[in-house]
Amino acid sequence: MLLDVATRAVLGAAVERLRRVARHVAWVAPGKLHLTLKFLGNVDQARVEEIVAALRGAAAGVAAFEAAVRGLGAFPTPTRPRVIWAGVSEGADTMVELAGRVDTALAILGFPREARPFSPHVTLGRVRVPRRDPALAEALAGGEGREFGRVRVGRVALMQSRLSPKGSEYTELAGVPLR
């Protein structure tokens, strides 16, 4: 799910502040910030229709909702980060439910189930060489309660990601509306 322009701009400003203390991070460009329910990996184009049908089934009965993008953190921990993120507070329970439905629907098609519990977030950057970084941990702690924006989640999109020298390029292949 792509974020609205205002939320991406506020998150982009947060990334710029973090960039000053963490130069060893590959930061996501603001225009590419998004919420991911499930990563599928390489998928044959011939499977797109069955995936979209599974997404329709997963989304059936789920009402559109609002999500608040709030707080900064890192996986696995802020003191030893690999992925820097902005969290989702309000709407997180619905996103977790929706991600579970998507995971179940796609498992029927043979896609591996997620090994870890789903944690709704927007990836802001990936640490190139993971290590202890007290300055970054302090900067993340300073953004723990900050709200970056609200997003109306009215659909689930099947996205294609292609790597390029400028980072990932995203193309929407199909969208499934929520009720």
Instruction: Say whether 24 is catalytic.
Output: no
Residue 153's closest CA among 85, 87, 95, 71? 95
Structural contact between residues 105 and 16, judged by C-beta atoms closer than 8 angstroms: no
Structure tokens at 27: 């930061």
CB-based contacts of 140, cutoff 8 Å, min separation 6: 18, 72, 73, 74, 78, 81, 84
Question: Which residue of the set 22, 30, 34, 95 is catalytic?
Answer: 34
Question: Which residue of the set 10, 55, 121, 176 is catalytic?
Answer: 121
Residue 178's closest CA among 47, 55, 5? 55
For residues 178 and 102, give the distance between their C-alpha atoms in angstroms, rounded to a whole number: 13
Q: Which residues are catalytic?
A: 34, 121
